[in-house]
Amino acid sequence: MEKREPVAIPFALVGFFATDKSVDEVVRTDLSAEELEEIQQFLASKLFKDPNVQVAIFPAIVPPEQAGEAVKELENYLFGEEE
């Protein structure tokens, strides 16, 4: 049987949260490595059929005034469009 090498394939999840407080007041910055691993395992189990798929994430917040630009950059990256 042929042995396959793992390949890293980028994917994106884009989300929004609504609040009337400042970002500093609502976003957790104290995620432990274990908590981040738990989130990654949860995403892998819910998004992919193959139980051996591993997911790596980097949580980041884009300031509201930059959100449109960030989504456009993501769109350009995904669909290869030039500005």
pLDDT of residue 57: 87
Question: What is the total count of domains within the chain?
Answer: 1
For residue 37, being part of any structural domain is answered with yes
Instruction: Determine the Cα–Cα distance for residues 83 and 80; give it in Å rounded to an integer.
Output: 10
6 Cβ partners below 8 Å, 6+ apart? Answer: 54
Q: CB–CB of 83/74 below 8 Å?
A: no
Is residue 82's pLDDT more than 60? no
For residue 71, being part of any structural domain is answered with yes
For residue 75, being part of any structural domain is answered with yes
For residue 21, being part of any structural domain is answered with no
What tens digit of pLDDT does each residue of 34-81 get? 999 999 999 999 999 999 999 988 888 877 788 888 778 777 776 776
For residue 17, being part of any structural domain is answered with no
For residue 40, being part of any structural domain is answered with yes
Q: Tokens for 12?
A: 């994106």
The whole domain housing 66 covers 32-79
